[in-house]
Structure 1
Amino acid sequence: MRSESTGGAGLAVPMAWLCAEYTADVILRTGGLVAPGSLEFRAGHRALALTVHLCEGGGADTFASGGAQDTDHWLALTACGHPWPAWVEERLAARAAREGHDGPDLALATATWHWLRTTEVYAADLGDLEPWHPSRPLPGTVDESSKVWTPAWELGVPLGHLAVHLW
């Protein structure tokens, strides 16, 4: 979906980005995993919106078509072990080369990636545990009193993955 203009003023409306944000919002709220408005919700929302936006064919078309193919793709991209940060940077660079650096959708996606990389969340230390990955059983329990600062994307990606899985 391309950005649209409001007409005479030439104000570009980032329709693709807005559709991706809407999709992420619906998925996260439906999952009910964290309270809307919390930093955790924002991390999951932004990571999921970025994933949806950077996938070809994601966004508004998902609701019209049922979205099974899109959700399978989103699950694969946000799965534990997938190099999500490298994928994001590669897709952003490809979009910038293809569309130029001045598009409103790309500007919002780039700002979101910057926020996810530079914002840190004080969360439970999962260490090497991957509790969101269904094929790996938990070797023990997580001590939720042991917390560490972690980049927001490291919390947002698994949260987005769980929300898509529940959707």
Structure 2
Amino acid sequence: MLHRGHEGTEGPDGDELTVPMAWLYAEYIADELLRTGDLMPPTSFEFRAGRDALALTVFLSGSDEDLCGIRVVTRLETWLDLTAYDQPWHTWVDRRLAEAEAATPAGGRTAPDLALARAAWRWLRETELLAPDLNAVPGGMPATGEDDGPKVWTPAWRLGLPLGHLAIHLF
């Protein structure tokens, strides 16, 4: 049985369970974009940060119809704009999640979809990853290898967002 683009199944008590297809499909698109870009191992925290940032962007930027087939290609430019360096992506995510939670389930957003989106956003905000300090002064430290140089702890979304943006470019 299909409801608003989400597959329903009969639960153990006869209640209908709603499968969060909009979130799962957004996550699938993000995963494919990152795997195609081959920027980091799929088992890394950096990959997860990029996937979750992209999945939130995909999920919150359109309707379920935008996630199917040919529409994905037409949405790439929107996703590039939203993930650009000079955009306030994190405040956009907060605003769009609040709007989605306040709205009725129109557009296919269900409680299970939103729960997964909120969990991804919480992980991206609360998890810190050790990353190169992009604000370090060039020449400030002698680099002897690829992994050398100043590093800082940064929220996962600050690392995942540019990785996701680059993956869209490489697609």
TM-score of the superposition, structure 2-length normalised?
A: 0.82
Residues 1:2 and 1:98: Cα distance change in structure 2 (over 3 Å): farther
- Offset at residue 55 of structure 1 (A): 1.0
Amino acid at match of 1:60: L
**1:22-70 C-alpha deviation (Å, 9 max, x unpaired):** 0001000000001111010000000001100001136631xx1163320
Q: Where does residue 120 of structure 1 map in the other structure? A: 128
The SS at the match of 1:111 is helix
Q: Does 1:17 align with 2:20?
A: no
The SS at the match of 2:103 is helix
Structure 1 stretches of 4+ with a deviation exceeding 2 A read 1-4, 57-60, 66-69, 99-102, 139-145
Q: Does 1:39 align with 2:45?
A: yes
Alignment of 1:117-156 (within 5 A): 117-127=125-135, 144-156=148-160
Contact 1:3 1:105 in 2 (8 A): no
Choose which of 148, 154, 169 in structure 2 pairs with 1:165: 169
Q: Where does residue 68 of structure 1 map in the other structure? A: 73
Contact 1:3 1:104 in 2 (8 A): no
Distance (whole Å) between structure 2 residues aligned to residue 57 and residue 141 of structure 1 = 47
Which consecutive residues of structure 1, in runs of 5 or more, have no partner in the other structure?
130-138
Distance (whole Å) between structure 2 residues aligned to residue 104 and residue 19 of structure 1 = 13
Q: Does 1:56 align with 2:62?
A: yes
Deviates more, 1:14-23 or 1:100-109: 100-109
**1:115-160 C-alpha deviation (Å, 9 max, x unpaired):** 000000001000179xxxxxxxxx8899642100000000000000
Distance (whole Å) between structure 1 residues aligned to residue 167 and residue 139 of structure 2 = 23
Which consecutive residues of structure 2, in runs of 5 or more, have no partner in the other structure?
none
Greater gyration radius:
2
Distance (whole Å) between structure 2 residues aligned to residue 57 and residue 114 of structure 1 = 22
Residues 1:140 and 1:69: Cα distance change in structure 2 (over 3 Å): farther
The SS at the match of 1:5 is strand
Distance (whole Å) between structure 2 residues aligned to residue 160 and residue 140 of structure 1 = 28
The SS at the match of 2:16 is coil
Distance (whole Å) between structure 2 residues aligned to residue 164 and residue 83 of structure 1 = 18
Residues 1:30 and 1:141: Cα distance change in structure 2 (over 3 Å): farther
TM-score of the superposition, structure 1-length normalised?
A: 0.84
